[in-house]
Amino acid sequence: MLENKVAIITGGTRGIGFETVRKFLQNGAKVILFGSKEESVKKALNLLKDENPNYEVLGFYPNLSNEEAIKSTFELIYKKYGKIDILVNNAGVSSSTPLTMYAKEEVDKIIELNIKAVFNCSKNIIPYFEKNQGGVILNTSSMVSIYGQPSGCLYPMSKFAVNGLTKSLARELASKNIRVNAVAPGIIETDMVKDLPKEIINPLVNSIPLRRIGKPEDIANAFLFLASDMASYISGAILQVDGLARS
C-alpha cells in the first residue's frame, strides 16, 4: 500500500509508533524513525532488522522542539532519498497530574513535545512536499481530545491543539495536494497499560462495547490506511479508533 514511499515517523521506537513503523515497512515504505535517545533508536532498528534484514529503515534522535535540528535532519533524509512523502507526528507525552500540582517543568515538556514539536515538524516538511507536489501529514491525537479526562488536563489540552492544527492545516494545505489527518486512539495495550492491575483493567474493558483493549496494530492499521492512496479523498479527519459505539 505504500510501495516506494518515504515516511518519517516521530516517536517510532516503541508502542504505537514502533508498530506503525513496522506496518509501513511491511507495506513497502522506506521509513525513518525518530526517537528521544540514541539507545532507544538503536534498539528499535536492531529489532526491525532482526525481523527482516531487507527493511529499509533509518533512525535519528533530533530534539523535536528545536526547529534547526528538525530542518537539518529533514534535509539529510531528503538528500538520501530525493523525496519525502509522509510525516507521522506521533511523539508525545501523557499526564495525569492534578491542575494545582503542575510544575513548570512538566507544563513546558508537554507543550514542547505534544504541541510545538507537531507544529515544527509540520511546518518544516512543507518545502519537501511542495517539491514532491503533494504529501501526507498524520498526527496522533487521543480519545481524551474528545472526552477530556478527570486529571492531567494538559494532556487533553495538547491533543485538542493537535485536532485544531489537523483541521486547519487540512484546509490551508489542500491546494498544495497535501492531506492532513489524525488518529485518536482509545485505550491501547502499551507497556504502561499492560502493567496496570486487573482491578483497573477489567472495568476499562467492560466500558468498551467491543469488550477488548485496542492493540498498537489497530492504530497502525488506521495510519496505514490514511497514509495510502485509498484515503486520497480524506483530509481534516480525526479518526477515532477506540472500540466505542456511536450514534
Report, in this order, helix, strand and coil percent for the chain, each rounded to 5.
Answer: 50, 15, 35
CA–chain centroid gap for 203, Å, is 27
Residue 95 CA to residue 151 CA, distance in Å, equals 8
Cα angle: 97, vertex 103, 105; to 5 degrees: 110
Among 90, 204, 217, 208, which Cα is nearest to 141's?
90
Q: Point out the catalytic residue in the list 55, 61, 128, 155.
A: 155
Radius of gyration of the chain (CA): 17
Residue 31 CA to residue 25 CA, distance in Å, equals 7
Quick one: CA torsion of 62, 68, 73, 78, rounded to 10 degrees?
Answer: 160
Classify the C-alpha dihedral 188-194-199-202 as positive or negative.
Answer: positive
Write out the three cell numbers for 83.
523525496
* Residue 233 falls in the annotated catalytic set: no
Q: Which helix (H) or strand (E) is 88 found in, with range? A: strand 86-89
Beta-ladder partners of 180: 137
Residues marked active site are found at 155
